[in-house]
Amino acid sequence: MAQGKQRTAKVPGRPVWAEVSIPALTHNLRAIRSCVNPPNEKREVPRLVLSIVKGNGYGHGGPAVARILEKAGSDWFGVTSVSEGAEIRKAGVRKPTLVLTSFWPGEEASLIKHHLTPVVHRCEQLESLNRAAARVARRKKVSFHLKIDTGMNRLGIAPSDVECFARQLAKCSQLHLGGVLTHFASSEAFAPAAHGQQTREQEERFYLALERLRSLGVDPGIVHLANSAAIATRPETWADMVRPGVILYGYHPSYDPPEQRAEAERRLPLKPVMSLRTRIINVRNIPAGSTVGYGGKFVAQRPSRIAVLAAGYGDGVHRSLSCKGSVLVCGKIAPIVGIVSMDVSMIDVTDFADAEVGSVVTIYGIDGPHTHPANLAARGIGTVTSDLLCAVSQRVPRFYLP
């Protein structure tokens, strides 16, 4: 485990770190691009890829990940807010960047200054954006994308508001519509139930709204619908650009029915990008009947050897993994015992003679020939992979390995 020693030497006092594989990340981007641009399809313009780097790059480090992906050829980036967009601009990223949840009143000037493209999801946003464009951008038009709500019922104008939007846009001489999008609620669902039909219904509503927009003389620009699950399983949704999220970082979302996963993984093979690691900082022997951790939730059924890890929920070890999760140590799986604390967690290493203070432990990720994937840990506690990845906190140093 010399690699682990080399990494922790740079962060004395915090023997917990994350390793981000640059080759795995670039592999996933290229696999996605190849998937949505099959060689047998005759398109004049290849489909674009908008890499989602919101949520600090799904916990991988948003600015650093964006730099890597830009170098690897990502066409666009997607962030949640103006502040996230500004951070990747400060990191030197220059490719077009879409602010997915738009802007708050007062942020328009910063948005334009950092050359960010907002998503407009309410017609009344056009007026304030147009005023800011006239004041800040002057003669140069400011581009934006329009979001149409087709069934998610979160953000976006209703299809019935397309006429209102077109009228408002006609009054905004400083704005340019660069794209139109929607977001799927259940693209991973194929079961013969209502949610299994929802994606098709959303797609139909979207294209009807797009047709109406065109009939009003409005060019929609780049059309994009497909999120991670749709990229892997629904070619009919790929349109002009796709928006990969969790699949960029090496994990397919959950599918319904689960059998759909094998087909998705065959069509789009991915590599996990991040490995979250820590070290054992104490080992103690306890007799049968002893408890471990807060509340005594774990009771030893035999004389046990308990190892304490230098990582807790303050680092990214999800508290829901208490007494349920597991980690990879010495090439084998060890169970998490007791309640995960903010700064430490405990594992049972009774059957691991070679586990000792200083041993490297992989919370999830890859350790040599062994893999402990984050998606399995997530499914075990009833959450999504993104929840675990985004939980890796700022106090955990990331190392970007070539």
Residue type, 367: D
Query: How far, in Å, are 68, 75, 154, 355, 396 from residue 231 at the CA level?
Result: 21, 16, 21, 42, 31
Please provide the DSSP assignment of 359-398 as one string: -EEEEEEEETTEEE-HHHHHHHTT--HHHHHHTS-TTS-E
Burial 55-74 (b: 16+ CB within 10 A, else e): bbbbbbbbbbbbbbbbebeb
Contact status, residue 283 vs residue 59, Cβ threshold 8 Å: no
Question: End-to-end CA distance of the chain, in Å?
Answer: 18
Q: Return the closest-CA partner of residue 29 out of 63, 62, 76, 61.
A: 76
* Residue 195: both structure tokens together: 């949610």
State the amino acid at position 161 in one-letter form: D
Report the DSSP beta bridge partners of residue 286: 304
Catalytic residue among 54, 251, 255, 364, which? 54
Q: Is 294 exposed, middle or buried (0-12, 13-18, 19+ CB in 10 A)?
A: exposed
Both structure tokens of 155 = 């953000």
Catalytic residue of the set 207, 294, 313, 400 = 294
**DSSP secondary-structure letter at 252?**
P
Tell me the C-alpha distance between 221 and 398, whole Å.
Answer: 37
Pair type for strands 274-286 and 360-367: antiparallel
E-strand ranges in 221-337 read 222-224, 241-242, 274-286, 291-292, 298-299, 304-309, 326-329, 332-337
Residue 294 annotated among the catalytic residues of the structure? yes
Rounded CA gap, 253 and 246, in Å?
7
HSE-CB of 116 using CA atoms within 13 angstroms = 30
- Buried (b) or exposed (e) across 109-124, using 16+ Cβ within 10 A? ebbbebebbbbbbebe
258: which 2 tokens? 């689960």
Q: Which residues are identified as catalytic?
A: 54, 294
